Amino acid sequence: MNASAAQRLAEIRERMGSAQARFGAPPDRVELVAVSKTFPAQAIEPFLAAGQRVFGENRVQEAKEKWPELRAAYPDLVLHLIGPLQTNKAREALALFDVIESLDRDRLAGVLASEMEKAGRKLPCFVQVNIGLEPQKAGVAPAETAAFVARCRAEHGLDIVGLMCIPPEGLPPGPFFAHMAELGRAAGVGQLSMGMSGDFETAIAMGATHVRVGSALFGDRPPLKG
């Protein structure tokens, strides 16, 4: 299992490097966020042992169950919250995570700012953009992104470092990633979290600074518990 994890990790990193070289992407470095949601600690540890340090989780409760012990063994790991965050989970999220990628509404911005002040811990945040304007997805509308980033900074004092998106399924992702790059420039942020297992090379071509890769590293996800 250790060898398999190391091999998968090396293959993804090689593909990322090739995409950067081929497309001449603007960022000097692209961060691999290994999406470990639904996988237990024993499936994650081989990737930690192989040198991966940045991981993404969707749910606060799941992260709470498996990451404190892993962090004790690997204190330099960095944990991103990439799933939706309820305001009543904000305090727990700030205690568990190092980066919040799913900031998507004013009320959450206010709660995060308040909880960060109480905790004395200011986490970098990405604003989630509903780049395809899909009604079932969370995120700020593209046209409102720059104004929302400005409010988060000016009214709440949040450290907004980038934008995050999930493009619509079944459509070519390139135009959506290109639009995200434009939105990032307009909002004055330097980081873009976009691209997953099936399209991260396209995202790198469009300027992604973070790619969120799950199934290409961990394999098929286990079924969700009832």
Q: Evaluate if residue 116 carries a pLDDT over 50.
A: yes
- Structural domain span for residue 196: 2-218
> pLDDT tens, 65-78?
999 999 999 999 99
At 226 the pLDDT is 43
- SS3 of 209, please? coil
Asked whether residue 21 is domain-assigned, the answer is yes
- What are the angstrom distances between the C-alpha of 78 and each of 32, 109, 113, 174? 11, 21, 20, 28
Nearest to 47 by CA among 88, 8, 91: 8
Q: How many helices (H) and strands (E) does the chain have?
A: 9, 8
Between the two ends of the chain, the Cα-to-Cα distance in Å is: 27
Percent residues over pLDDT 70 in the chain: 95
Asked whether residue 224 is domain-assigned, the answer is no
Q: Evaluate if residue 24 carries a pLDDT over 80.
A: no
Asked whether residue 223 is domain-assigned, the answer is no
pLDDT class of 131 with cuts at 50, 70, 90: very high
> pLDDT tens, 159-204?
999 999 999 999 999 999 999 999 999 999 999 999 999 999 999 9
Asked whether residue 226 is domain-assigned, the answer is no
Asked whether residue 214 is domain-assigned, the answer is yes
Tell me the two tokens of residue 53.
Answer: 């340090």
Domain harbouring 153, CATH code: 3.20.20.10
At 223 the pLDDT is 62
At 164 the pLDDT is 98
The Cα–Cα gap between 202 and 192 comes to 13
Q: Which residues contact 225 (CB under 8 A, 6 or more apart)?
A: none
> pLDDT tens, 40-67?
999 999 999 999 999 999 999 999 999 9
Asked whether residue 225 is domain-assigned, the answer is no
At 1 the pLDDT is 41
> Looking at the 3D structure of the chain, how many domains does it have?
1
What pTM value is reported for the model? 0.94
At 113 the pLDDT is 98
Asked whether residue 12 is domain-assigned, the answer is yes
Q: Evaluate if residue 2 carries a pLDDT over 70.
A: no
Asked whether residue 93 is domain-assigned, the answer is yes
Q: Which residues contact 136 (CB under 8 A, 6 or more apart)?
A: none
